[in-house]
């Protein structure tokens, strides 16, 4: 029996650690598996998570990191120590296995690890940039703000064999701030349909006489849920907002909700499991993405699966997913009045909601795991 070809994926996060980048890489790994590859995935450890395990035929290797205090967010020290610990484990894996290529996810912090391993063992390295690793307007330490970090990122890009990014916006930011000499290939994030048990609104504590906005994502500044809450404060009382996720901005958002007197209309649901998340999505009316910037927007794909029309900000990879007026609307970030007006317009137009719903049910089929995985394989053929 012919031995399977092998791929090494490097990413400092893998579910349940982190957010969308880890989830997307997990789905990509499953796509490689479907194409007949063996996939080894080198990631960060965390408390009770197993040091080694097999998840959906993916070989997971977790290395010890310092100062990771929660599952949702990584600290600077945890990312730096992942690179160091990952180097020694990566050396061991590369000695044991002949890899077709390395897929390095995130130029920051994983980029140096992928570069070193690829050079030592002469393995092709596909560097995947996600957006937030090169441009995050909500963070003072975002690499695009500092010349020395821009130099490091540019250096790493130019030493990868291939560069992939998930959206036209990420490609635009990469070219603008880092001016790589290599071509960047846009490959969208893969999406796997989630099976879940359908439930009624009453089972979730929701009312049939209300219209529900829904948003999913970590409670961090970049998501700008404060802007959404301000928009809700200007809407009719029959429109309520469901926000699914945990994070460091939770206390601030709770205070803002009380300050704006919308405690009965904005519901912070915290972390919920995958099935319940989709049950809420399937019972909502409109998906809202209020982010200052998104590298891509997996959460939009989740909304598409259940046929939700989308209202999203126009700064980020979501512009590749949302065609204004076709399957959703795009609005300027940090403008709650514009967001509120667009919500009112869509919520009161039943025909538009039905049209956008049908389009999103079609569009989501463009992101199958095998299709996206094949796009990566084609880069090194």
- Establish whether domains 6-187 and 202-366 are of one fold: yes
Q: What is the pLDDT of residue 71?
A: 87
Placement of tokens 């869509």 in the chain: 346
CATH code reported for the domain at 6-187: 3.40.50.2000
Cβ atoms 127, 25 nearer than 8 A: no
Cβ atoms 235, 344 nearer than 8 A: yes
What's the count of helices (H) and strands (E) in the chain, helices before strands? 12, 14
Side-chain half-sphere exposure of 17, counting CA atoms within 13 A: 25
The topology (CATH level 3) of 202-366 is: Rossmann fold (3.40.50)
Residue extents of the structural domains in the chain: 6-187, 202-366
Alpha-carbon distances, residue 73 vs 15, 17, 25, 45, 247 (angstroms): 12, 8, 17, 13, 8
- Surface-to-core class of residue 53, CB atoms within 10 Å of its CB (0-12 exposed, 13-18 middle, 19+ buried): exposed
Q: What is the pLDDT of residue 268?
A: 98
Q: What DSSP string runs through 241-286?
A: EEEE---TTHHHHHHHHHHTT-TTTEEEEE---HHHHHHHHHH-SE
Instruction: Extract the tokens encoding 20.
Output: 């969308």
Q: What is the pLDDT of residue 32?
A: 98
Q: What is the pLDDT along the chain (381 residues), one digit of tens a residue?
A: 678 999 999 999 999 998 788 989 999 999 999 999 999 999 999 998 999 999 999 999 999 999 998 888 889 999 999 999 999 999 999 999 999 999 999 999 999 999 999 999 999 999 999 888 898 887 888 899 999 999 999 999 999 999 999 999 899 999 999 999 999 999 999 999 999 999 999 999 999 999 999 999 999 999 999 999 999 999 999 999 999 999 999 999 999 999 999 999 999 999 999 999 999 999 999 999 999 988 788 899 999 999 999 999 999 889 999 999 999 999 999 999 999 999 999 999 999 999 999 999 999 999 999 999 999 999 998
Q: In 3-state terms, what secondary structure has residue 330?
A: strand
């Amino acid at each position: 029996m012919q031995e399977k070809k092998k791929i090494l994926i490097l990413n400092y996060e893998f579910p349940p650690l982190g957010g969308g980048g880890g989830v997307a890489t997990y789905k990509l790994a499953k796509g490689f598996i479907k194409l007949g590859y063996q996939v080894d995935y080198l990631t960060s450890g965390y408390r009770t998570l197993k040091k080694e395990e097999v998840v959906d035929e993916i070989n997971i290797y977790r290395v010890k990191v310092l100062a990771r205090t929660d599952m949702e967010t990584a600290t600077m020290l945890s990312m730096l120590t992942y690179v160091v610990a990952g180097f020694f484990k990566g050396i061991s894996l590369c000695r044991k296995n002949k890899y077709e290529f390395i897929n390095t996810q995130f130029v920051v912090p994983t980029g140096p690890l992928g570069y070193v391993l690829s050079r030592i063992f002469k393995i092709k390295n596909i560097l995947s940039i996600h957006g937030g690793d090169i441009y995050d307007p909500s963070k003072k330490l975002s690499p695009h703000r500092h010349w020395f970090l821009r130099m490091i990122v540019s250096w790493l890009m130019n030493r990868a064999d291939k560069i992939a990014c998930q959206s036209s916006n990420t490609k635009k930011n990469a070219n603008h701030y880092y001016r790589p000499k290599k071509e960047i290939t846009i490959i969208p994030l893969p999406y796997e349909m989630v099976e879940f048990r359908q439930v009624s609104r009453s089972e979730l504590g929701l009312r049939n006489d209300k219209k529900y906005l829904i948003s999913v994502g970590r409670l961090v500044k970049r998501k700008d849920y404060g802007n959404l809450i301000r928009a809700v404060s200007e809407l009719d009382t029959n429109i309520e907002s469901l926000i699914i996720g945990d994070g460091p901005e939770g206390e601030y958002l709770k205070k803002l909700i009380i300050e704006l007197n919308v405690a009965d209309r904005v519901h912070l649901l915290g972390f919920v499991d995958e099935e319940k998340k989709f049950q809420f999505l399937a019972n909502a009316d409109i998906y809202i993405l209020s982010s200052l910037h998104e590298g891509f927007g997996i959460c939009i794909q989740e909304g598409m699966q259940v046929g939700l029309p989308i209202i999203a900000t126009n700064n980020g990879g979501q512009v590749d997913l949302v065609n204004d007026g076709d399957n959703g609307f795009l609005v300027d970030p940090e403008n709650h009045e514009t967001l509120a007006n667009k919500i009112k317009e869509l919520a009161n137009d039943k025909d538009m909601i039905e049209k956008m719903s049908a389009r999103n049910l079609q569009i989501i089929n463009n992101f199958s795991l095998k299709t996206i995985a094949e796009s990566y394989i084609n880069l090194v053929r």
